[in-house]
Chains A and B, each alone.
Chain A
Amino acid sequence: MTQSPYERVKMARDNKRPTGNDYISNIFEDFFALHGDRRFGDDQAVVGGIARLDDKPVTVIAIEKGHTARERASRNSGAPHPEGYRKALRLMKQAEKFGRPIICFVDTSGAYCGISAEERGQGLAIAENLMEMSTLCVPIISVLIGEGGSGGALALAVADEVWMLQNAVYSVISPEGCASILWKDPTRAEAAAVSLKLTAEDAKTLGVIEKIIPEKNIGEESFYTEMKKMLSQTIGQLEEDSELLQKRYDRFRSIGKQGV
């Protein structure tokens, strides 16, 4: 590992990095997009639908940032509104009904901070996902492919296994935000990035993720083939597990238990 944590943050934010849609189109077959939360609207920052993974029906949900400036504008740069989380939950409940495993690709700087988002209950939308995902009785795998920004990322990552791309980051707050609150100096983001322990290696050490996915061939066919194989294999194992929900509970239950 040669890059500093803050360099990782920049890599994770790079708009040339594969986004949610790239993973969907390269890994799955017969993807059929489903739209809307049936409450208010259809959030373009969250893409979701049904598809096949090696012939197995699955539900796929991805936060989509977009690559170009125009795409980023239409996707709100991957910062979901409450309806994005509600769409995701609707699709997850549907997956549970039909016994389909769920795969989430997470890439967001965070849930959108705006007047409309607050008026429509951003906090509640995230809270409901956390609560409901903890007991959905189908396997859930979440892959952090870029930025894992706080509660807005966690709302799609209450899973049986959480994986991170080698240069993805996962953090409770952006390094810039942390530096400006703690040290009243946003330019100290580099130091904050170190202290926050937000790299994939850190997350693995802290017991927050199961797997780090190498990036040497990121975006190439072999990269997606490899990920497809890992997803298929792990889903197969999780489907066999009769203690899936207890293990999911224990997975989070054990984090931060050191106290006493």
Chain B
Amino acid sequence: MAFLQFLKPKNELESGGRAAAPVQQDSGEPEKTCPNCHKSIPLSKLWADQLTCACGHHFRMKARQRIHILTDKGSFTELFSDIHSADPLFFPGYQDKLETVRNASGEEEAVICGRTRIGGEECCLFVMEPYFMMGSMGSAVGERITSLFEYAAENRLPVVGFTVSGGARMQEGLISLMQMAKVSAAVKRHSDAGLFYLTVLTDPTTGGVTASFAMEGDILIAEPGAVVGFAGARVIEQTTRKALPKGFQKAEFVLEHGFIDAIVHRREQVETIASLLRIHNGGQKE
């Protein structure tokens, strides 16, 4: 969990989010260059393809955009949105940082939780927000996800979780670390109740989130090319002074090493998730 990325992602969608969505049909339509194949993609095409490039590259996506494309229309009810991060350590600059990030991202915290339907299947859903301190896990993230698992256990619902995180939020110190144990205990109770938990790992899922609820699903799927690991690649290079193997920590590498079940393209996710929920009887053991 060591080296977290707390700077806002240097992503071409930095100023993006939903605000970047307007489709301009005139000749001056803005384009984005795919960092993988280096081709230019008109924004309207990029959005139509759910922020994926024809070459297979998956761009980072805001949590609410995901919820929009994943859930059945009008079915999403947000839960626990009243839980906010406090500043338990009075960490220098943290309040200001939160304020800035809240304004820039339009979100209150780094995860959105709710109850919804995906492909007609009832479930609980959490989606982490890359544009909120790179999905770092502080007390509010821990509390929201824990509450969601408890709610799901109570209502006998499966949980689908989309992870993206630099790890624990160091401005909340030990309190943030303890969220790993707190969420894990709630996942365990949900699991012991015979209920289904599906994790979708998106780029990047690292640190304390990988070392807790990201890896605790019954089935783990990942988006193509997503970095999934515990320690950051840079840290490993510094520690070991060795060159990293090709594709190290990419979803394909993690699949090959036996730690995830499948890699699923964004356009196939709704169908895949719905079918996995269906085969688990909506998660209920009858």
Contact = CB atoms under 8 A, between A and B. Distances in A.
Contacts of A110: 1-2
Interface stretch (B110-118, B235-243, B269-277): B235-243
Interface residues of B, number: 67
A120 B257 CA distance: 7
B203 to A, nearest CB: 15
Contacts of A174: 2
A127 B172 CA distance: 20
A95 to B, nearest CB: 18
Given A113-B231, A115-B244, A127-B215, A150 B184 contact: no
Interface stretch (B11-19, B25-33, B86-94): B86-94
Interface in A113-127: 113-115, 117-124, 126-127
Contacts of A117: 230-231
Given A115-B242, A173-B170, A131 B230 contact: no
B82 to A, nearest CB: 5
B245 interface: yes
Contact of A131 (B84, B138, B174, B187): B187
A172 B168 CA distance: 7
A130 B180 contact: yes
B98 interface: no
Contact of A253 (B4, B185, B242, B257): B185
A141 B172 CA distance: 25
Given A114-B236, A134-B188, A256 B230 contact: no
B180 A151 contact: yes
A157 to B, nearest CB: 8
B71 interface: no
Nearest to B242: A115
A249 B83 CA distance: 20
B85 interface: yes
A227 interface: no
Contacts, number: 201
B188 A259 contact: no
A111 B248 CA distance: 18
A198 B174 contact: yes
A171 interface: yes
Contact of A260 (B83, B236, B242): B83
A225 interface: no
A238 interface: no
A74 interface: no
A141 B11 CA distance: 45
A208 B173 CA distance: 11
B39 interface: no
A132 B188 CA distance: 7
Interface stretch (B59-67, B140-148, B278-286): B140-148
A203 B231 CA distance: 25
A4 interface: no
B9 to A, nearest CB: 14
A25 interface: no
Contacts of A102: none
A248 to B, nearest CB: 8
A170 B192 CA distance: 30
A121 B240 contact: no
Kindly name the residue among A121, A255, A260 whose own CB sees the greatest number of chain B CB atoms within 10 A. Answer: A255
A257 interface: yes
Contact of B174 (A134, A208, A253): A208
A182 B231 contact: no
B174 A171 contact: yes
A135 B192 contact: yes
Contacts of B57: none
Contact of A258 (B88, B180, B188, B236): B88
A93 to B, nearest CB: 14
29 contacts: A113-B230, A115-B248, A117-B231, A122-B231, A124-B215, A127-B210, A127-B214, A130-B184, A130-B211, A130-B212, A131-B184, A135-B188, A135-B192, A151-B168, A151-B208, A151-B211, A154-B181, A171-B174, A171-B177, A172-B174, A177-B3, A181-B5, A181-B170, A196-B89, A202-B174, A206-B173, A253-B185, A253-B186, A256-B140
Top 5 closest A-B pairs, CB basis?
Answer: A256-B139, A123-B210, A113-B231, A134-B185, A130-B184
